Amino acid sequence: MRWSEPQQAMLREMGLRLWLPAAAAAEQPVAATATAVTAATAPVEAERAAATVPPAPAAVRPPTLAASPATPPSAPQPVTRAPADPALLAMDWPALRSAVETCRACSLCETRQQTVFGVGHPRAHWMIVGEAPGEQEDGLGEPFVGESGQLLDRMLRALGLSRDATEPTEPADPARQVYIANALKCRPPRNRNPTAAERASCQPFLERQLALVQPRVILAMGRFAVQSLLGSDEPIGKLRGRLHDWRGVPLVVTYHPAYLLRQPADKARAWDDLCLAATCLD
């Protein structure tokens, strides 16, 4: 298998070591055919070939807070949706941020240092949804600032994407920007798993963020992001590698960067997922 230079750059950014068999190395100067990567990707290709990939919608419908069925829910819906507050449906960014900052809907407000709202371009074409703030995020008030955030930034950079909302000389191009938010806006104590009730309390905030951003593709990273958006309890390995739908917006499920730090062999699959998400914007 031959990798284009952008693909090689992406794999290098993600920390994947590539090597070339001697013959191919003579033809291809930089890095490589990734035997390890190819091996890791092979089952994915099979899985993807077997999957039905609906075409990306021509125009993205702005999400609404009304309940809508997610892509074939494969397990009982674990999250009971909090009734949408009509006031929330009308909130602009400042009002929403303030509602999050003052939220006391669940007990996580007792232990948080601060809420972690979200970061990025307010109309980014990519929306990345993580799980919940960790210790560093709780301290700084920004999602994904720890080690897993650094990996996420490298992955995004490999795709030519950034979370920076402003550029020094010209307005940021929303096509090259992401908006990052978590399913939960407060850190669960000692990074314990969030409860279904906590996820349900926070869900309207995430949904309003999605409605304001109107992304063209959503990347759901990790189990709790997936539970919040798709209502599915299936393992990431079963849901990734194909397109899902979130109220008309294509959604790609992938591994959480913290998991990838523990299981670097799965970075190749995550890379595949990012490429799949990128195809929604082609």
Phi/psi of residue 109, nearest 5 degrees:
-65, -20
Nearer to ligand URA, 120 or 222 (CB): 222
Nearer to ligand URA, 63 or 143 (CB): 143
Could you tell me whether strands 249-254 and 243-246 are parallel, antiparallel, or unpaired per DSSP bridges? Answer: antiparallel
Query: Measured from the CB of residue 224, what is the shortest distance to ligand URA in angstroms?
Result: 8
Beta bridge partners of 129: 181, 220
Closest-CA residue to 10 (of 211, 277, 251): 277
Nearer to ligand URA, 65 or 151 (CB): 151
Nearer to ligand URA, 20 or 253 (CB): 253
Place of tokens 């995550």: 270
Measured CA to CA, the distance from residue 189 to residue 206 in angstroms comes to 20
Nearer to ligand URA, 131 or 273 (CB): 131
Which residues contact ligand URA (rule: CB under 6 A)? Answer: 130-134, 137, 143-144, 148, 182, 222, 258
Query: Measured from the CB of residue 147, what is the shortest distance to ligand URA in angstroms?
Result: 9
Query: Measured from the CB of residue 228, what is the shortest distance to ligand URA in angstroms?
Result: 11
Could you tell me whether strands 178-182 and 217-221 are parallel, antiparallel, or unpaired per DSSP bridges? Answer: unpaired
Dihedral, 107, 146, 213, 129 alpha carbons, nearest 10? -70
Query: Measured from the CB of residue 67, what is the shortest distance to ligand URA in angstroms?
Result: 24
Measured CA to CA, the distance from residue 178 to residue 130 in angstroms comes to 13
Give the residue at shortest CB distance from ligand URA: 130
Nearer to ligand URA, 143 or 241 (CB): 143
Query: Measured from the CB of residue 144, what is the shortest distance to ligand URA in angstroms?
Result: 4
Closest-CA residue to 130 (of 226, 204, 12): 226
Query: Measured from the CB of residue 54, what is the shortest distance to ligand URA in angstroms?
Result: 27
Which stretches does DSSP call E strand in 187-281?
A: 217-221, 243-246, 249-254
Query: Measured from the CB of residue 146, what is the shortest distance to ligand URA in angstroms?
Result: 6
Measured CA to CA, the distance from residue 137 to residue 274 in angstroms comes to 24
Nearer to ligand URA, 41 or 254 (CB): 254
Find the farthest-apart pair of alpha carbons in the chain and give their distance in angstroms, rounded. 64
